Amino acid sequence: MKDNNPTRHAQYAWNRASQLPPPPKPPKLEFYMPAMPSLTLIHQLEMRWWRYRRRQLFRRHVLPLLAYDDNVLRDIGHCREDILWASQLPLQEDAIQVLEARQQETPHEEK
């Protein structure tokens, strides 16, 4: 998306990064076929793939927001330090989810 308004572009990037929902939990089956793989294993593989995709979306859409001014980041509710901190999280942590939780618990004060 090419837009002259950096605030709108930053908001679009954040929305694109946070739109991937997690995979559903596996159902409890009463009967298993003998050659059927474990549904827990399949769910773990799906979750690993989902975490990988979320991290890719974070790198593709959220990290480029660091090129914008601090005022633009403040307009969408984030600060540069939070995005840099989230980029250093281990791969098991969902950086987008952690940033959203951090944004809700401590809103940044305007200077």
- The ranges assigned to domains in the chain are 37-106
User: Which single residue is written with the structure tokens 């709108």?
Assistant: 8
Note the pLDDT of residue 103: 80
Q: How far apart are CA 19 and CA 39, in angstroms?
A: 25
pTM of the model as a whole: 0.68
Per-residue confidence band for 31, with pLDDT thresholds at 50, 70 and 90:
confident
Q: Which two tokens stand for residue 14?
A: 């954040």
Per-residue confidence band for 111, with pLDDT thresholds at 50, 70 and 90:
very low
Q: How far apart are CA 35 and CA 7, in angstroms?
A: 53
- What helix, strand, coil percent values describe the chain, rounded to 5? 60, 0, 40
With a pLDDT cut of 70, the percent of the chain lying above it is 90
